[in-house]
Amino acid sequence: MIFTERKMYTFLDNWKCWANIYLKIHRREVIEMADNKMVNGVNVTELFNTIEAIKDKPDIAKFKFRATNKWINGTHCRATIKDFYGALKEDNSRPPVDYDMDEPPVLLGNNEGRNPVEYLLVALSGCLQEWEGGNQRSLFLCALGSQCLGTIADF
């Protein structure tokens, strides 16, 4: 079964239910795969080993991600992401990454970066892609896409 493109809408939960049923049916095939089998870029053997380790020691699954933010001027600010806590230890292995945020002129900004809502949409779409791509343990994907929309409206 191949999905060439799919947009995420409110029926996502129904699709997740279908995907979980499909994965349960095909889980036996995945378990019987050779060591270090890669499916959709995920090491399935390591994935199942991690799941078993978490069952034995649930604290392994506790993660704390961090971001700092500094106001620059007007609506412009800069966030930095570097380290995090996970798998029972601090992880400083990544170089810091800065994200400039600002509003477009119509919202009184100077376009010095993307607006925070756009970053939120990117984060949400990333979570969806990771869940979909990483959890399709017995499907071979050729493409996967999503679209998230943000609306500013009256409350």
Q: What is the pLDDT of residues 88-144, one digit of tens each?
A: 999 999 999 999 999 999 999 999 999 999 999 998 888 887 766 656 555 555 666
Query: How many structural domains compose the chain?
Result: 1
CA 125, chain centre distance (Å): 7
Residue 4 belongs to a domain:
no
Q: Name every residue whose Cβ is closer than 8 Å to that of residue 11 and which is 6 or more positions away in sequence.
A: none
Residue 139 belongs to a domain:
no
- Residue-averaged pLDDT of the chain: 77
Residue 140 belongs to a domain:
no
Q: Pick the residue with more confidence: 27 or 68?
A: 68
DSSP annotation of 58: G
Residue 69: is its pLDDT beyond 80?
A: yes
Q: CATH number of the domain that 22 lies in?
A: 3.30.300.20
Residue 7 belongs to a domain:
no
Instruction: Provide the domain limits for residue 113.
Output: 12-134
Please report the pLDDT score of residue 154 as a whole number.
64
- pLDDT bracket for residue 57 (50, 70, 90): very high
Q: Record the tokens describing residue 67, joined without a space.
A: 């971001």
The closest alpha carbon to 104, from 146, 66, 70, 74, belongs to 74
Residue 146 belongs to a domain:
no
Residue 40 belongs to a domain:
yes
Residue 45 belongs to a domain:
yes
Residue 153 belongs to a domain:
no
Please report the pLDDT score of residue 31 as a whole number.
45
29 within 8 A of 48, measured Cβ to Cβ: no
Taking the C-alpha atoms of residue 127 and residue 60, their distance in angstroms, rounded to an integer, is 20
Taking the C-alpha atoms of residue 35 and residue 24, their distance in angstroms, rounded to an integer, is 20
Report the percentage of the chain scoring pLDDT > 90. 46
Q: Record the tokens describing residue 154, joined without a space.
A: 């009256």
- pLDDT bracket for residue 56 (50, 70, 90): very high
